[in-house]
Amino acid sequence: DIQMTQSPSSLSASVGDRVTFTCRASQNIGSYLNWYQQKPGKVPKLLICAASSLQSGVPSRFTGSGSGTDFTLTISSLQPEDFATYFCQQSFSLTPTFGQGTKVEIK
Amino acid sequence: QVQLVESGGGFVKPGGSLRLSCAASGFSFSDNSMNWIRQAPGKGLEWISYITSSGSNTYYADSAKGRFTISRDNAKNSLFLQMNSLRAEDTAMYYCARTRAYSYGVNAFDIWGRGTMVTVSS
């Protein structure tokens, strides 16, 4: 299976901060990388597919980039509703795998 | 509206069985591939199984192979997961999720149900 490693596991930030976290694949997955946001007690929500394509309705402060093995998700100006856990997921193989998540907490 | 509603979770002893169901509405279920994804309490997401729109092909994570069986009834807009030989480590919230195909052949899980909790304990 393709292993997905996210870093950091958690981070503390303030409203208005620019935050970036990463996702690394154990092999080349091209742009077959998706990002999900999960708020406590809620269902995961698809934010970005194909590494950089923002889903309809997702604010433009979210940006995804990368290809191959290294990917990043950037929030340009953190808002109160963005405090959540973010998961990356590869769809390159027939057996998709998720990263362990990055939890964004309020500083 | 587009909706997935899971049911069938509950408490079961190790070695027991459960059958989860997922009722789809608001979209053409028979045209979409579907998945089961689980999340242990306080943990990350784990994809478990996938079934093509017709049901002709299925795939499983290693943790589910030989114990879990995914199936669907397109006439009833329903997805199922038969879970046998359950273990404590199968304790999790189980979500059904739709696969959507995007450009360049990228697939993603675009619609999720609210989940059904499975607890395996003696």
**Per-residue pLDDT in tens (0 to 9) along chain B, 122 residues:** 999 999 999 999 999 999 999 999 999 999 999 999 999 999 999 999 999 999 999 999 999 999 999 999 999 999 999 999 999 999 999 999 999 998 777 899 999 999 999 999 99
pLDDT digits (tens, 9 = 90+) for A18-60: 999 999 999 999 999 999 999 999 999 999 999 999 999 999 9
Residue A93: its pLDDT value, please? 94
Q: What are the chain B neighbours of A43 within 8 Å (beta carbons)?
A: 95, 112-115
Question: Residue A91 corresponds to which tokens in the numbers above?
Answer: 């769809």
**Residue A90 to residue A96: CA distance in whole angstroms:** 6
Pick B106's closest partner by Cβ from A32, A43, A101: A32
The residue in chain B having the minimum alpha-carbon distance to the alpha carbon of residue A2 is: B61
CB B112 to CB A100 under 8 A? no
**Residue A31 to residue A9: CA distance in whole angstroms:** 22
Query: Given a cut of 90, is residue A88 above it in pLDDT?
Result: yes
CB A43 to CB B113 under 8 A? yes
Question: Residue B73 corresponds to which tokens in the numbers above?
Answer: 């009834």
CB A95 to CB B109 under 8 A? no
Q: Mean pLDDT score of chain A, rounded to an integer?
A: 96
Identify any residues that bridge with B68 across adjacent strands, giving them in sequence order.
B83
- When scoring A1, A4, A49 by the number of chain B Cβ atoms within 10 A, the one with the most, hence best to mutate, is A49
User: A12 near A105, Cβ under 8 Å?
Assistant: yes
Residue B9: its pLDDT value, please? 97
CB A96 to CB B47 under 8 A? yes
Residue B102: its pLDDT value, please? 85
Residue A71: its pLDDT value, please? 98
User: B64 near B57, Cβ under 8 Å?
Assistant: no
Residue B104: its pLDDT value, please? 73
CB B62 to CB A1 under 8 A? yes
Q: What angle do CA A45, A103, A87 make, to 5 degrees?
A: 40
Residue A56: its pLDDT value, please? 94
Question: Residue A64 corresponds to which tokens in the numbers above?
Answer: 């995804």
Residue A97: its pLDDT value, please? 98
User: A51 near A33, Cβ under 8 Å?
Assistant: yes
